[in-house]
Structure formats: C-alpha cells, structure tokens
Amino acid sequence: MNTELLGVVATYLLTLVIAIPLGKYLAKMFAGEKTWTDFLRPLENGIYKISGINPKEQMDWKQSMKALLTVNSVWLVYGFFVLLYQDKLPLNPDGNPGMTPDLSFNTVISFVVNCNLQHYSGESGVSYFTQHFVLMFLHFTSAATGIASAVVFFKAFRDKTTSSLGNFWEYFVKSITRLLLPLSLLMAIILAFNGTPTSYEARDQYISLQGDTVNVSRGPAAGMIAIKHLGTNGGGWFGVNSAHPLENPSYVTNTVELIAQMIIPIAMVLAFGYFIRRKKLAWTIFGVMTIGMFLLLIPTISSELGGNPAIAKMGISQTAGAMEGKEVRFGPAISAYWSTVTTIVSTGSVNSMHDSTMPLTGLWQLLAMMVNSFYGGCGVGILNYFIYLIIAVFISGLMVGRTPEFLGHKVEAREVKIAAVITLLSPFLILTGTGIASFVFTNFGDADWTVKPANWLNNPGFHGFSEMLYEMTSSNANNGSGYEGLGDNNIFWNISTGLVMILGRFLPIIGPVAIAGLLASKKFIPESAGTLKADTMTFALMTFAVIVVLNALSYFPALALGPLAEYFTLLH
C-alpha cells in the first residue's frame, strides 16, 4: 500500500480511537452522571443564571422544539442585519462592504442551519467582526442545536414511558461548554502552531521573489477553522476553505481537520447506545453507517486515483491521480477521502474543488449528501438515520407479521405519516429546486438579471447540470460544499437555496424528535420471541436496503442525466 492510502487508513483509525471514548463520555455527560468535566459546572450555572434558565425544568418534545425554533429565529434576525451592515461595524480592517439583502438572507440561514453554503468569499465578503460574531458564533450554536436535539431524542428512549425529555437549554449549553468549546480550543492551538493565522492583523502586502506585488488576506482564522470542523459546519475563513494553504497548511493539519469533523458524528451514534443502555443497537447502526461510508469511499478513491480519462488520452503521467482542483501537499487519495467524509457528515468544508472531481466521484458525493446519514451531521445524522430506520421498522414489522414496534413502542399511522413526510421532503426540495433552476436556465437564459442565467454554469453539458443538482443537494443536506463553478451569488440562487436550506434543516429535526416523543409517551411493550429486534444483522441489512433503495429510486434519473451521463460520455 502506498503512503497516500496508508494515510487514509491511519486517519480513519485515529478517528475511531478518539470517537469511541468520546461517545461514552457524551452519554455519561448528557445523562448527568459524574464526569471529569464537572469542574465546568460553575461556568454553566453562571450561563443559566444570566439567561434566566432553570436547567431542572422538564420539557416535552413540543416544548423542546419550541425553544429550538425560538432561539434559532433570534439568530436569524440578528445575523441578517449584522451581515447587512457589517461595513458600518468595527473590526473590518480590510474595509469589506456590507452584504446585499439576498446574500445576507442566504448567508445567515446557511450558518444558522449548519450548512455554510458561502455564496460570498471569505477574504472579501465578510469582516473580522462578522466572521466572529455571526459566523463563528453560529458554528458553535448550530452544532449545539443539532446535538441538543439528538439528546432530546435519546432521552425519549431512555425510559420506558415518559413525556419529559429533559431540558433543551441544558443540553444545548452543555454541548458547548463540555464538548465543542474545549475541543475547539485544543484544535485551534494545534492549528495555530502549524501555520494557521490567529492574529487580528489586516491584509498584508509583499513583493515576491520575481518582483510581483502580492496581497495576502489573513485574520484570526484558527479558532473558526477548529469549530467549523468539530461542529460539521464547514464554513471556512478563506474562499477556498481548507484547500487554502493558511486554512489547512500541511498534511498534519489536514489529518487533524479530517478527524475533527468525524468524531462528534460517530460519537453521537455510540452515545445513543450508551445513553439508552442498548450498546448493541448503537454498534449495529454504526456498522450500517460505516459500511455505507466505505461503499462510497472506496469507489471515490478509485475514481480519483484513476485520473481524468480525457487527460490520460493526452499521454501525460497521472500516476498520482486526478490533480485538477487538488493541492499537492494532500494528494488525490486523502482528498478523495476528504470529499467522502465532508459529504457524509455534512461538513461541507473542502480541501479540493469538488467541481473538478471525476464524474463518478461527483456521483458518490451527491449520493452521500442525498443519504445524509452515514454518521451525518453533528447530532442530526442520527436523527436522519432514524427516519430510514422507522420506515425499515414499519416494513419489516409487517414482514414478520406483527404491528411494527421500535424499542417497545408501537409504530403506528401518526409516526409513519411524519416519517413519510420527511422522506418525501428531500426529493421534493432537491428535485424541485434543480428542476426550477434547469427550467430558468433553459427557458430564460437571457433574462436581464444581475447574473444572466445563461452565465450561471462554469461548465457546459452534463457537468453543468451536476453543478445545479449539487447546489440544491448540498443545501438540502445542510452540507454547504459546492460545485463552486456555479455562479451562485445572485437573487435566484440566494433565495432558492436559502429556502431549501431552512426547510431541509428544521423539518428533519422536528420530525424524528416528534416521532420519538410520540413513541416515548406510548405504552411500553416488553420484547417477545415475535418481536423484531432492531439490533440484529438482519435488521441492519434491511435498514441499509431501505436507505439504498429509497435514494436510488428518488434520484436515479437526475443522477443519470448528471454524473452518469458525463461518466459514460467521457469513457467513450
């Protein structure tokens, strides 16, 4: 095995080494058991006191979701106006302008929903103030929102029958104080000592070796880069995200950033098992997710290492693999791994340009975001997975001749209805969004807009279609990566993806939490030999089949016209 592949294997193994104990810790910590981080309690009590929160107050699922929606609305309003008027606010050493209303609309939604689509460029589109007080702040809070929702969901299955699902605020605050903040601090310092800037100094200028005058954008980036990965946010300091040599200076930082974005999603899955005292269930879910990841990862690596067939025809050496849009210090193997990781866990940060990846890589990236639950985003990954699981529970429950039940609670029409709506939502948002975009592009290409629709696409043909499909898929998955060739900073894309993002975020959180809340309030049925257990290999296989079939059926035509058509055409 060459050193590049070895690097991939080592990174994944290191990820597990950290994520597994982290999962145990999270379960204990959220359950309120004794942990070594209890020394932070005074800090939390201070926060509760100032905020007027009583962390002992029990909420049901509706109250939890109300609290979630309220605080998220506050951030939306706050962030929208601050981004709009950032030019009039302090800490703007580069003198960057305020955002247009549509860009501000898109950006604030994008960061509140943990998507980080970034239709602006970090160097010129935001100030140090907004990078910190809007974007980085939302990095923390959006991740904590996802984690806290997942804990509310966990709580529903911890006891046999209950309607009190703990205190949303408590989970939210503890997600920050006991998980995100300490890990970010540690990681930011590692990054700082490996070349990522931390100071508030403004743009620099130097004269290069051959005499060019070069401007250098800088800024206190390390702190933001740490949380953007830990919180699976992905919104970077610089325009090209973690491909930027200051945002991701070396192979070491690359490894750290890769590990950082995976540990919480994996840990949350395992924490679920420890929290509800069903370790085997969590490991089964983890198994399905891992298999899913490898099924995406292996062909991705293979397709990138294979290089571009059109360039291969030109006779040059592609021994390393496809290099367009990639950095030499990472190489195609770990870049392919990154592209899989960032699309499965919905980080959306990139260390290579996805628009330039091979057609099949694009297919796997798209599929990863369509599934959106192979580990998935911070907290929300397991919630997304739960929807597939409920459908699997329902169909397989029927197949074994028993009214479907999950963990001792009957799954009935109301739960199936919610799961059905959430299942429906993704194809609806992705396909309708892409459909409208295609329609506008085809029929109103010359419309007199700021950016003519005809000029949206950086690449013609099937790849151009993929650019639009990718943008909508990424928005719906709250992923945030993009085929950046798409001219997306204009009213059409800012508004449409804004709407897709906001719907693609909150409904898939509320849905599973509602199902869990409803199930938790139902009578607990003890297991019998006729009960279908959710922690068996067979059921895992069933869930996996549901995930694959649902996504394949929903997206096959779109994928056939995008990456598949490009792949086969490139091949012939």
Partner 1 sequence: MKKYIIQSIRLTLVLMILLCVIYPLIVAFAGGFSKGNGGGEKVTKDGKVVGYARLGQSFTSPGYFWGRPSAVGYNAAGSAGSNKGPSNPDYLKDVASRIDTLLKYHPYAKRSDIPADLVTASGSGLDPNISVEGAKLQVKRIAEYRKLDEKTVSDLVEKNTTKPLFGLFGPSLVNLLGLNLSLDEVRIGNRE
Partner 2 sequence: MENRERRIENREQAGGISFLYHSLFSILHFLFSIPHSPPQFSISNKQMKTQSNKLFEAALVQTALKQSFVKLDPRVMIKNPVMFTVEIGTLIMAYVTVYSFGHTGQGSATYNFFIFLILLLTVLFANFAEAIAEARGKAQADSLRKTREETPAKVLVNGRIETRSSSQLKKGDMFVCEAGDTIPTDGEIIEGIATIDESAITGESAPVIRESGGDKSSVTGGTKVLSDHIKVQVSTQPGESFLDKMIALVEGASRQKTPNEIALTILLASFTLVFIIVCVTLKPFADYANTPITIAALISLFVCLIPTTIGGLLSAIGIAGMDRALRANVITKSGKAVETAGDIDVLLLDKTGTITIGNRKATNFYPTTGGIIKKFTDACVLSSLSDDTPEGKSIIELAKLKGETNISAAPAGSAFIRFTAETRSSGIDTPDGRRIRKGAFDSIRNIVQKAGNVFPADIEEQVKKISSNGGTPLVVSENEKALGVIELQDIIKPGISERFDRLRKMGVKTVMVTGDNPLTAKYIAQKAGVDDFIAEAKPEDKMNYIKDEQAEGKLVAMMGDGTNDAPALAQADVGVAMNSGTQAAKEAGNMVDLDNDPTKLIEIVEIGKQLLITRGTLTTFSIANDVAKYFAIVPALFIASIPALQSLNIMNLHSPESAIMSAIIFNAIIIPILIPLALRGVAYKPIGASALLRRNLFIYGIGGVIAPFIGIKLIDLVVGLIV
521 binds partner 1 (CB under 8 A): no
CA distance 419 to 159: 22
CA distances to 441, 451, 457, 460, 497 from 447, rounded to whole Å, are 9, 9, 15, 19, 19
Q: Which of 35, 163, 164, 198 binds partner 1 (CB under 8 A)?
A: 198
| Residues 291 to 330 in contact with partner 1, rule: CB under 8 A | 307-308, 310-311, 314-330
367: left (phi over 0), alpha (psi -120 to 50) or beta: alpha
Phi, psi dihedrals of residue 204, rounded to the nearest 5°:
-110, 165
CA distances to 138, 226, 421 from 426, rounded to whole Å, are 24, 29, 9
Nearer to partner 1, 4 or 405 (CB): 4
Q: How far is the CB of 234 from partner 2 (least distance, A)?
A: 27
Q: Which of 142, 130, 125 is nearest to 68 (CA)?
A: 142
| Residues 117 to 156 in contact with partner 1, rule: CB under 8 A | 121, 123-124, 132-133, 136-137, 140-141
CA distance 189 to 202: 20
17 binds partner 1 (CB under 8 A): no
Assigned token pair, 144: 């904590």
Q: Which residues lie near partner 2 (CB under 8 A)?
A: 391, 394-404, 408, 411-413, 415-417, 419-421, 423-424, 427-428, 431-432, 434-436, 438-439, 441-443, 462, 465, 523-526, 528-533, 536, 538-539, 541-542, 545, 549, 552-554, 556-558, 560-561, 564-565, 568-569, 571-572
Q: Which of 15, 86, 107, 217 binds partner 1 (CB under 8 A)?
A: 217
Q: Which of 110, 142, 184, 349 binds partner 1 (CB under 8 A)?
A: 184
Q: Which of 369, 374, 200, 170 is nearest to 287 (CA)?
A: 374
Q: Which does 428 bind (CB under 5 to 8 A by kind): partner 1, partner 2, none?
A: partner 2
Q: Are 184 and 163 in contact (CB under 8 A)?
A: no
Q: Which of 296, 267, 515 is nearest to 389 (CA)?
A: 515
87 binds partner 1 (CB under 8 A): no
Q: How far is the CB of 121 from partner 2 (least distance, A)?
A: 28
CA distance 171 to 58: 12
Q: Position of tokens 């998955």?
A: 477
Residues 221-250 as x/- pattern, contact with partner 1 by CB under 8 A: -xx--x-----------xxx--xxxx--x-
Nearer to partner 2, 337 or 462 (CB): 462
89 binds partner 1 (CB under 8 A): no
Nearer to partner 2, 223 or 453 (CB): 453
Q: Are 181 and 161 in contact (CB under 8 A)?
A: no
Nearer to partner 1, 361 or 384 (CB): 361
| Residues 358 to 387 in contact with partner 1, rule: CB under 8 A | 358-359
Nearer to partner 2, 314 or 413 (CB): 413
Q: Are 481 and 488 in contact (CB under 8 A)?
A: no
